[in-house]
Structure 1
Amino acid sequence: MVSKNIQAAAVKKFIPARNSNSRKGDNGTVLVVGGSYIYHGAPILSSLAALRCGTDLVYTAIPKVNVQSTRAISPNLIVIPLVDQKLTRGAVRKLLGQIPKSLDSATIGMGLSVQDNEALKILVKSLIDSDVRLSLDASALVSDVLPLISNTNSVVTPHVGEFKRLFGDSPPSNLKQRISMVEKFAKEFSVTILLKGSTDVISDGKNTYLNPKKTPAMTVGGTGDVLSGLVAGMLSKNRNSLESAVAATYINGQAGKIVQRKVGLHMTSMDLIDVLPQAMKPFDRIK
């Protein structure tokens, strides 16, 4: 399989043009499920990233202990309190009764404490059964979900450690070998894998893209949460999981380059959010 670096021309094709007569909801509705007592910021970053990439509506489901602080960050967030501090079966069942029926995509796992993997499986299966495209990150990356997301236009966004937990093997440091491993598991489980690193590797087992970033400032916490929100935002507009993951990866990397030029090695993930419109502007189209 031949891998290729992501080119701006391809990304432009992967991000659909917006209809000049579109109404609220036509350009994507996203659900973000994440957060915990300690990691309250992760789902905020994902939600703001999804909004900044042009999604019309984002629903942010977080533990009720984090609701007040999350709402204080931005009036743009539609916050749904989870009834428990961790993801439990009860919290999932209540959430499924609260979310809109018109969801296009969801991202799950950023900063999330999962009390019971069965609760996670119930959430994932229910969303898939409702034709919601999924992006899974962090604590949602457990092997139990692999049979559920196979052949469903889903994306997983692990770093090296999460990759090993999900698939059982640790990606080699050698890029060529790393690409081969990503391609192998993407094909075996019929899922799009976005392996994060200094060079992101994205593959659906048939096609593979590389995103060499050269932005060491992006090691700061939260950049992966921004990426998860971008993936979900792209999935809300493009049903092709590989194209959505490639577009999100490229935009995230471009935002990182913009910020690093401005502030050097001192960026925060909120800096990425602020420049997302600049990173995406070359791909804006209205039909």
Structure 2
Amino acid sequence: MGGCYYMSGAVTLAAKSALRTGSGIVTCVVQGSIVDRIASFLPEATYKVCGETDGYITLKNEDVDEIIKNYDAVAIGVGLGKNQNFISSLSYILENSTKPLIIDADGLNLLCSIKEKLNIKKCPIILTPHPGEFSRLTGLSIDYINKNRVEVALKFAKEYECIVLLKGASTVVTDGEMVYINTTGNTGMATGGSGDVLTGIILSLVGQGYSPYDAAVLGAYLHGAAGDWAYKKYGNGLVASDIIEYIGQAML
């Protein structure tokens, strides 16, 4: 669930990585103006077309209800853009979803103003911030976060009863009790769209029945391992779509 007229590629990357991780059906919830763009690169996906305002997606509550009813897990935020009108939809989703949610990218930025909604959720939630997004969520400086990665992720996960995957060198995954520090990955993966690929991998694993914490841990590992395979071929010139091509190899 995401995309906008200015960033349609993010949804494409997330959906394709979910398919490559083993999901049988992946649906892109997007506005009509970008469906043809995405479908031209991703004929294997299905599409739910929603409204839009000024190039950004708009959702009705009945759209959300249908999505919650029909799908196993939902990822929100990739390519969503600075869509302030989506805050009310995100609030409604947090209040009503009974299916696991993965919130990334612009979904995290919108969450900053309504993060108290995390305390009334009815479903597991995985947050996948990079340090900048986590700084906006917590009010802590990026420098402090980078020096205290485990501590700050653990504290937030415990306070809001969610799973935090804090991206960066040695990605930290925690549910407020358990902590996993990932060791796969490389500097070449610091490229636009890499986080969208990770979101798709985690979404797929949750949808296939892995617990949210295990999906986040395994997703971080697979994402990095696929990136390591891609790095062998492309070095620092690798792009996010190269990571997707090696997900299957990483899962062997």
Question: Would the TM-score normalized by the shorter structure come out above 0.5?
Answer: yes
The DSSP-based 3-state class of the residue aligned with 1:248 is helix
Residues 188 and 238 of structure 2 are in contact (CA less than 8 Å); yes or no, is this contact kept in structure 1? yes
Identify which of 38, 45, 61 aligns with 1:93.
61
Residues 86 and 115 of structure 1 are in contact (CA less than 8 Å); yes or no, is this contact kept in structure 2? no
CA distances 1:84-139 after superposition (whole Å, capped 9, x unpaired): 13243xx233533653733110100011032321122113333x2xx210000011
C-alpha separation between the residues in 2 aligned to 1:99 and 1:59?
Answer: 10
Identify the residue that residue 222 of structure 2 maps to in structure 1: 251
Residues 92 and 123 of structure 1 are in contact (CA less than 8 Å); yes or no, is this contact kept in structure 2? no
The DSSP-based 3-state class of the residue aligned with 1:83 is strand
C-alpha separation between the residues in 1 aligned to 2:145 and 2:107?
Answer: 27
In terms of mean alpha carbon deviation, does 67-76 or 230-239 score higher?
230-239
The alignment covers a number of residue pairs equal to: 244
Q: TM-score, normalised by structure 1?
A: 0.79
C-alpha separation between the residues in 2 aligned to 1:106 and 1:92?
Answer: 16
Gap regions ≥5 residues in structure 1: 1-32, 282-287
Identify the residue that residue 7 of structure 1 maps to in structure 2: none
Residues 32 and 51 of structure 2 are in contact (CA less than 8 Å); yes or no, is this contact kept in structure 1? yes
C-alpha separation between the residues in 1 aligned to 2:201 and 2:115?
Answer: 22
Identify which of 159, 177, 194 aligns with 2:165.
194
C-alpha separation between the residues in 2 aligned to 1:243 and 1:221?
Answer: 25
Identify which of 56, 76, 80 aligns with 1:112.
80
Identify the residue that residue 6 of structure 1 maps to in structure 2: none
Distance 1:96 1:277, change over 3 A: same
Identify the residue that residue 209 of structure 1 maps to in structure 2: 180
Identify the residue that residue 3 of structure 1 maps to in structure 2: none
C-alpha separation between the residues in 1 aligned to 2:213 and 2:42?
Answer: 30
Give the C-alpha shift of residue 47 in structure 1: 0.5
Identify the residue that residue 125 of structure 1 maps to in structure 2: 95
Give the C-alpha shift of residue 260 in structure 1: 0.3
Identify the residue that residue 102 of structure 2 maps to in structure 1: 135
More helix by share: 2
Match for 2:31: what amino acid? P
Residues 172 and 178 of structure 1 are in contact (CA less than 8 Å); yes or no, is this contact kept in structure 2? no
CA distances 1:165-217 after superposition (whole Å, capped 9, x unpaired): 12222354676622111111111111100010011011111010111345111
Identify the residue that residue 242 of structure 2 maps to in structure 1: 271
Q: TM-score, normalised by structure 2?
A: 0.90
RMSD: 2.0
Sequence identity, in percent?
30
Distance 1:35 1:258, change over 3 A: same
Distance 1:181 1:105, change over 3 A: same
Match for 1:120: what amino acid? L
Match for 1:57: what amino acid? I
